[in-house]
Structure 1
Amino acid sequence: MTLKDIVNKDVTHITTCESEPIHIPGSIQPHGVLLVADTNDYIIRYCSANTADIFRLTPEKMLNKSLESVLGHEWQTLLTCFNNNPLQSYPCSFLIHEKKYDIIYRYIDNLVLLEIEPSVDADEERHQLFERSFNFMTAAERATNLRDLCQRVAYHIQQLTGYDRVMIYRFDREYNGEVYAESKRDDLEPFLGLHYPHTDIPAQARVLYVRNLVRMIPDVNYNPVPIVTFNNSSASDVDLSDVGLRSVSPIHIQYLKNMGVHATLTISLLQDERLWGLIACHHYSPKKLPYEKRVSALLQSKFLASQIKVRQVAEEYNVNIVVEAHLQQLLNKINIDEEFALKFEQFNSLLAVANASGAVILYNGKLFEQGIVPPSEKTLALIEWIDKNISSVQFATSALHTRYPDAKSISRYASGILFHALGKVKESCIIWFREEVERTVNWAGNPNEAVLRKATNELAPRSSFALWKEKVRYQSHEWRPSEVNAASRFATTLQNYFHLIHVRQEEQRHRLLNERLQKANQELSNINWITSHDLKEPLRKIRLFTDKIMNEEIDSLSNQLRNSIERIQKSAERMQNLVDDILTYSLMENKEGYFQIVDLQATLNEVLENLHEEFSDKKARLQLISLPGNVRAIPHQMNQLFTNLIANSLKFTKPNVLPVVSVSFTTLRGSDEKDVALIHNVDYFKISLQDNGIGFDPAYSQRLFDIFYRLHHKDEYAGTGIGLAICKKIMENHEGAIVAHGMPGEGAKFDIYLPVG
């Protein structure tokens, strides 16, 4: 069988560094050997082409063989490691052909990947481990701040590893790197303070740095060793993300060559599973670091990573102490009961609570300003933009020009803003401002030319690392978490205060409205008294004298005068009915103490007795199902309810059609009626009264219950337009409901909902 390699040939065709498949190069560096076996049977499926360097066997002799047959008596030791330490954190040492090797293994899917490197006898170093660790910890404890700590770590890692230069990179949010600390040979030019663009470490490389914390390149001039398998196998790419021997991107190799670097060691610094920075060790000649020293350097980096969090928290704590004191001063002022304009003048800590250079509060459309702020029209334009473009309650940026189109015109006042809504943005909000901070960034080469395209259309890294200065404008200092938190707490308290003011104003408005309503009710009561008493007497006299004239002087009256007197009598009668109905409606409010257990069937029988003549005149017929006899209600109001509804049915009959009134009832749950405003967990008696009269347009089903509303002219059908309004008032008194249904020419139906019990 012939061999084939799985070297990725697409690297030369990539269009961007971000698209380079660096995790599947299909090759390794030559300072070790890679075996890839199946985890089910431990048969070797892939291997690097340099297996003879260690095993004295060519790949043809290794592939499709078991690890046991290749390792011999060492297999049981490795198998014990597999079983006892599936997540390997240190190498296993073996003798292969009388030479000592370190084996690192990692599991990926259904494969186990074994990296095998010659072991370096470090017995001479081990007695120094305690002394080296003690010196490192002592030096770290003496660090006064984070930068000092990083400088000390860089020095000790250089002493430990022997590299010519050790740098600690710190990344910003966009992963541009700054040389934050450096320890080097005296004859080398310093890189401390230089910046490197994020394109130097593309996104997929950052992912691998998070997964694989230590990466070593002993010699940038190495020849990649391909990974091979048999030609007849269903070979696929092998993920080498966690493999230290993984071959390096050709672009990165050329980048190092352009810098004059021959060997590197890179250790990741993580914070909250995010790449905070790197420890980059450079050597200007080939250098292979023993595994034990790599582990020691990693341990020192782990200590630094843990201290980064501690130091940053300590720095944040110091800032928090200051802003918290200012926050408490502001919170105390908010609680003072006075006009906001006076209160705002006492906000002496408004700027200090967020370490801002200016602040504005928009309240009820008016701007209150402190410190260095943009002109009012510019501030209002910014608020208008925030209202349309920012959906969150809070928004903070130190580079407003990257979001707001007109930011450069206000950069001297507001290169950074911290915004918090206090309600509707264009009515109430608060904004803290930070002035522009101009600074010069020293780049190691032009960051805009970090990756170039050659004439062959291949990508290549820049070759110049000469100092390139960039003037950065339109930015402010970053907002610290403690500043954002303190500002948010103040804004939330201020928002609650504004809400409290609004509630008080609403209470005042409702109190005034209630006083007006009470006055109106009193006036209405007076009108009811006048209507029910003072108007009755004139009406009684009008009817008395017109009746007397008609009875005693009728023979001497002309036809015209007699007709006029009859019209006076009818008008007086209508007026009398209207007065009676208004009085009845006004009395519907008085319901306290009148609830009793009512037999609705007996009430209905009484109503039918009173309407006997109307039924006889209309030749009307009643269809009735027995009604419940245990309803808690006001007796006379139930009588009024049935009287009005049945009389209504007898009034609006169709010509030449004998009237039929049907009464039925059922029991239901409030939640059963979706279109009626009932209490869901209450049971109701539903009583329906339906007739076969003229009906009405469903569009008027709600207005029928309005007081004085009439669908028909008074000359067509008698009435005052209050009867159904009285029915609605009765149902409101009983915490029930009444609903009207109708169609023109098809009759009307009224559904009454009375609570059970």
Structure 2
Amino acid sequence: MNIIEIVNKQVLTIENCDREPIHIPGSIQPHGMLLILSPENGVVRYCSANTYQFIDKQPVEVLGKSLTDIHPALWEKIQPLLHADNSPFHPVPVGDLHVTIHASGEFRILSLEKRLDHEDDPDYAFDQTRGFIGFIERSRSLKDLCQNIAVETARITGFDRVMIYRFDKDYNGEVFAESRREDLPPFLDLHYPHTDIPAQARELYLRNLLRLIPDVQYEPVPLLALATESIQQPDLSDVILRSVSPIHIQYLKNMGVSASMSVSVIMEGKLWGLIACHHHQPLYLSARQKKAALLQGHFLSSQIRVQQVAEEHVINVNVEAHLQQLLNRIEQDEDMSQKFEQFSSLLAVTNATGVAMLHEGKIYEMGLVPSREKILGLIRWVGENVKSSLFSTSCLSKRYPEGAAMSKYGSGVIFHAMGKPTDSCVIWFREELELTVKWAGRPETSIGKNNGDKPLTPRKSFEIWKEIVKQQSAEWRASEINAATRFATSLQNHFHLTYLRNEENRLRVLNERLQQANQELSNINWITSHDLKEPLRKIQLMSSRIVYEGGDNLSDVIKIHIEKIRNSASRMQHLVDDILSYSMMNNRNNMFTLGDLGPIIADVKAELEEELSNKKGLLSVQSMPQSLRIVVHQMGQLFSNLISNSIKFAQPGVSPEIYINCQVEKGRDIREVALPADKNFYCIRISDNGIGFEPRYNEKIFDIFYKLHDRDTYAGTGIGLAICKKIMENHQGAITASGEIGKGAIFRIYLPVE
């Protein structure tokens, strides 16, 4: 029978230890024995080389044999458990052995160890739990609780040193609490680099909650198998007896440790830390001691979050009290300078050392803050690089290129924008907190030196090395950041409400002035329509009477002057009539009805027939909308003004041609004027071949009293197109114009499709 070893013989160095397959070492520690068998028939496929020390049989008598023949008593005890979930901390007693069962793919793994405790105390777990409750009651903080756990674990197990080892976010470790033999140097507060515990080892700590090395000087016991079988490397991830990485063994030897144990501390599914135990002599633990140590880890895991929440609650109560004081002051009716001075809790609400606020171009400061130039530089950088309204960090220099220059008073910041960051924001600062971090050896020397052809080894130096950490503040707590957000949001809402109230007052004053102006305009309209018309009529009447009664007695010069008076009075009469028409466009008595534009344009054509005929003009009208909500007489005035303008501004010697057509357009497609995108409009196009005008006057011609041409050549008051624009506004539509010199003009009327 050919038996072979299946030890993983991959060459391990410190360079590839982070890729070491520590779950398949192919060997175990010698304080136990391993059997790997098929659960259906109990046939042993793999075994450790030390079977004789535990069951008085050599590997050749075990491999390929059924456990029913090898050890009937063992098979009888474990057979019912082969397909059940088994805990490694509830071993099955078989004579002087303890047996634990693990599933590994198609196999079952039996771990056998000598029983060190033959009596079981049923009150032991109760006493341990009662003691832990006492720890909780006496502990004022998480650190106190960890210290009590370290002391109790040392008492239970007998280890020389027990440490509560806590990981940071990068998995660097810190000795957070420690119980030690008095003659040993303290490791408390020492830091260890993340390279001391590689990632794959941390993964196994999540699976194996307890890891024990009773004797660091042990010689690994290889696993054996029959060469005739298909050999696979068994996965020993869940096996406590699994042999340890030689890199880690050398690391412990370099520290002078002879026995080691670690218990995983888990919080919310992640590895928070370890209960790490060291002894300077080999130390073997009984099943009860291991179970008790594991229970300490469970106790601690259950209380970490509770203690953190309790500590956070104390801070939160204080923060909340200061926040309420601030929120009460926000609504006070004061100017910003007075209000900022009254924010006495503005620093305490986040436990900051300084605060600055930018509002309406002015910076308000309190406490220790960087210079205004540096504050403005930070505000500009946040405005350009941070998308959210909140930005916080305890090490500004890592995020902001100029952060190092302001680290004395601004190593940590909470930046909250109140709208656009460069317009309004509030910034809390924390000054630099220079820290001394004590490392167990320099972090960058986590590997030993290479002497000649010898491979690199784990570091040998664990002498305390101090690192000075600068440009960093204390970490911001969640309650402090939340309080900053609530305050900044409330202040922003207050600013918005204040702005709206001011706008409301401004609009109210403008409305009152507008009403007054409208009243004055109504008075002017009354004067225009009544008081001015009467003197004009008298001027025209007296001028006519003078000409009639004077007859031939009047000189030609006097007759010319009287004719000028009559013409001026006539123009004044037209102007008064147009002003009155313009002012009447807002008359609410104008009644909208469903009307047809065809007859309206036909009536206008009839009124202008003589002028059109005199110039031999053409007016062509295509079919017009028949059901429009309009004020009929206003539509008549609109088309009358536009068509008469086309006749008036015809080119000399050229017969005027006027074309009117209509089509439906969508509001979103109309570019000349802003109209509702979701509505349709009738676009009525009026084009002519007249003298036209320059494009720069497209909008100007609708201004009241504005005339492009001289008064003597082209009669008119300059109000006609302004009236057209007012009519279209009354009808929720629009009018546009475009022209070219010598080529004519085009007017477009947009009326909503009902």
Q: TM-score, normalised by structure 1?
A: 0.78
Indicate which of 268, 272, 284 corresponds to 1:272.
Answer: 268
Residue 183 (str. 1) matches residue 183 (str. 2): no
Check the 8 A contact 1:49/1:59 in 2, yes or no: no
Check the 8 A contact 1:264/1:282 in 2, yes or no: yes
Summarize the Cα distance change of 1:405–1:737 in structure 2 as closer, same or farther, 3 Å threshold: closer
Secondary structure at the aligned position of 2:273 is classed as strand
Check the 8 A contact 1:78/1:92 in 2, yes or no: no
Cα separation, 1, equivalents of 2:283 and 2:465? 30
Cα separation, 2, equivalents of 1:587 and 1:499? 40
Cα separation, 1, equivalents of 2:522 and 2:271? 79
* Structure-to-structure mapping, 1:1-80, within 5 angstroms: 7=8, 9=10, 12=13, 14=15, 20-22=18-20, 26-31=24-29, 33=34
Summarize the Cα distance change of 1:97–1:298 in structure 2 as closer, same or farther, 3 Å threshold: closer
Check the 8 A contact 2:251/2:459 in 1, yes or no: yes
Shift of residue 296, structure 1, vs aligned partner: 4.3
Shift of residue 664, structure 1, vs aligned partner: 4.0
Cα separation, 2, equivalents of 1:71 and 1:534? 131
Per the alignment, residue 659 of structure 2 pairs with 661
* Structure 2: stretches of 5+ with no match in the other structure: none
Indicate which of 402, 416, 419 corresponds to 2:415.
Answer: 419
Per the alignment, residue 144 of structure 1 pairs with 139
Per the alignment, residue 752 of structure 2 pairs with 754
Cα separation, 1, equivalents of 2:355 and 2:313? 24
Shift of residue 150, structure 1, vs aligned partner: 1.0
Residue 118 (str. 1) matches residue 112 (str. 2): yes
Shift of residue 462, structure 1, vs aligned partner: 2.1
Per the alignment, residue 627 of structure 1 pairs with 625
Greater mean deviation of Cα atoms: 707-716 or 154-163:
707-716
Cα separation, 2, equivalents of 1:6 and 1:119? 21
Shift of residue 320, structure 1, vs aligned partner: 1.7
Cα separation, 1, equivalents of 2:629 and 2:220? 99
Shift of residue 712, structure 1, vs aligned partner: 7.6
Per the alignment, residue 101 of structure 1 pairs with 99
* Structure-to-structure mapping, 1:190-229, within 5 angstroms: 190-203=186-199, 205-210=201-206, 212-221=208-217, 222-223=219-220
Check the 8 A contact 2:44/2:67 in 1, yes or no: no
Check the 8 A contact 1:29/1:224 in 2, yes or no: yes
Check the 8 A contact 2:600/2:635 in 1, yes or no: yes
Summarize the Cα distance change of 1:432–1:681 in structure 2 as closer, same or farther, 3 Å threshold: closer
Question: Which string of whole-angstrom CA distances, capped at 9 and with x for unpartnered residues, describes residues 378-421 of structure 1?
Answer: 44444444444544423333334444555555555344333322
Aligned-pair Cα RMSD in Å: 5.3
* Structure-to-structure mapping, 1:671-690, within 5 angstroms: 677-679=674-676, 686=682, 688-690=684-686
Question: Which string of whole-angstrom CA distances, capped at 9 and with x for unpartnered residues, describes residues 188-234 of structure 1?
Answer: 33322322233433455445544554444455455485899999989
% identical equivalent positions: 46
The residue identity in structure 2 corresponding to 1:467 is I
Cα separation, 2, equivalents of 1:701 and 1:71? 109
Per the alignment, residue 314 of structure 1 pairs with 310
Summarize the Cα distance change of 1:211–1:604 in structure 2 as closer, same or farther, 3 Å threshold: farther
Shift of residue 66, structure 1, vs aligned partner: 13
Summarize the Cα distance change of 1:9–1:339 in structure 2 as closer, same or farther, 3 Å threshold: same
Shift of residue 463, structure 1, vs aligned partner: 1.0
Residue 485 (str. 1) matches residue 482 (str. 2): yes
Cα separation, 2, equivalents of 1:624 and 1:148? 95
* Structure 1: stretches of 5+ with no match in the other structure: none
Per the alignment, residue 366 of structure 2 pairs with 370
Secondary structure at the aligned position of 1:124 is classed as coil
Per the alignment, residue 607 of structure 1 pairs with 604
Summarize the Cα distance change of 1:70–1:678 in structure 2 as closer, same or farther, 3 Å threshold: farther
Cα separation, 2, equivalents of 1:220 and 1:359? 56
Indicate which of 634, 643, 653 corresponds to 2:640.
Answer: 643
Shift of residue 336, structure 1, vs aligned partner: 1.8
Check the 8 A contact 2:646/2:656 in 1, yes or no: no
Check the 8 A contact 1:451/1:461 in 2, yes or no: yes
Residue 463 (str. 1) matches residue 460 (str. 2): yes
The residue identity in structure 2 corresponding to 1:659 is E
Cα separation, 1, equivalents of 2:124 and 2:463? 40
Greater mean deviation of Cα atoms: 306-315 or 188-197:
188-197
Cα separation, 2, equivalents of 1:347 and 1:71? 81
Per the alignment, residue 337 of structure 1 pairs with 333
Check the 8 A contact 2:705/2:718 in 1, yes or no: yes
Check the 8 A contact 1:214/1:268 in 2, yes or no: yes
Check the 8 A contact 2:35/2:44 in 1, yes or no: no
Shift of residue 533, structure 1, vs aligned partner: 6.4
Per the alignment, residue 127 of structure 1 pairs with 122
Shift of residue 337, structure 1, vs aligned partner: 1.4
Secondary structure at the aligned position of 1:477 is classed as coil
Check the 8 A contact 1:261/1:283 in 2, yes or no: yes
Residue 594 (str. 1) matches residue 588 (str. 2): no
The residue identity in structure 2 corresponding to 1:395 is F
Shift of residue 116, structure 1, vs aligned partner: 3.4
The residue identity in structure 1 corresponding to 2:491 is L
Shift of residue 3, structure 1, vs aligned partner: 8.8
The residue identity in structure 1 corresponding to 2:331 is N
Question: Which string of whole-angstrom CA distances, capped at 9 and with x for unpartnered residues, describes residues 443-472 of structure 1?
Answer: 222234234563569654321112223344
Check the 8 A contact 1:601/1:628 in 2, yes or no: yes
The residue identity in structure 2 corresponding to 1:496 is N
Check the 8 A contact 1:262/1:283 in 2, yes or no: yes
Shift of residue 427, structure 1, vs aligned partner: 3.8
Residue 505 (str. 1) matches residue 502 (str. 2): yes
Summarize the Cα distance change of 1:79–1:425 in structure 2 as closer, same or farther, 3 Å threshold: farther
Summarize the Cα distance change of 1:279–1:509 in structure 2 as closer, same or farther, 3 Å threshold: same
Cα separation, 2, equivalents of 1:606 and 1:572? 30
Question: Which string of whole-angstrom CA distances, capped at 9 and with x for unpartnered residues, describes residues 310-335 of structure 1?
Answer: 11111111122222222222222222
Shift of residue 25, structure 1, vs aligned partner: 6.2
Indicate which of 249, 257, 268 corresponds to 1:253.
Answer: 249
Cα separation, 2, equivalents of 1:119 and 1:98? 9
Per the alignment, residue 391 of structure 2 pairs with 395
Summarize the Cα distance change of 1:339–1:660 in structure 2 as closer, same or farther, 3 Å threshold: closer
Check the 8 A contact 1:154/1:168 in 2, yes or no: yes
Summarize the Cα distance change of 1:98–1:335 in structure 2 as closer, same or farther, 3 Å threshold: closer
Secondary structure at the aligned position of 1:264 is classed as strand
Per the alignment, residue 735 of structure 1 pairs with 732
Question: Which string of whole-angstrom CA distances, capped at 9 and with x for unpartnered residues, describes residues 600-641 of structure 1?
Answer: 444344333323335545442534336324x43322222223
Secondary structure at the aligned position of 2:364 is classed as strand
Summarize the Cα distance change of 1:156–1:413 in structure 2 as closer, same or farther, 3 Å threshold: same
Question: Which string of whole-angstrom CA distances, capped at 9 and with x for unpartnered residues, describes residues 33-66 of structure 1?
Answer: 59699x9x9999997886988997789977xx99
Check the 8 A contact 1:71/1:96 in 2, yes or no: no
Residue 284 (str. 1) matches residue 280 (str. 2): yes
Shift of residue 281, structure 1, vs aligned partner: 2.0
Summarize the Cα distance change of 1:29–1:648 in structure 2 as closer, same or farther, 3 Å threshold: farther
Cα separation, 1, equivalents of 2:700 and 2:238? 78
Summarize the Cα distance change of 1:671–1:51 in structure 2 as closer, same or farther, 3 Å threshold: farther
Shift of residue 133, structure 1, vs aligned partner: 2.8
Summarize the Cα distance change of 1:746–1:398 in structure 2 as closer, same or farther, 3 Å threshold: same
Greater mean deviation of Cα atoms: 657-666 or 342-351:
657-666
Per the alignment, residue 155 of structure 1 pairs with 151
The residue identity in structure 1 corresponding to 2:639 is F
Cα separation, 1, equivalents of 2:256 and 2:753? 93
Summarize the Cα distance change of 1:534–1:216 in structure 2 as closer, same or farther, 3 Å threshold: farther
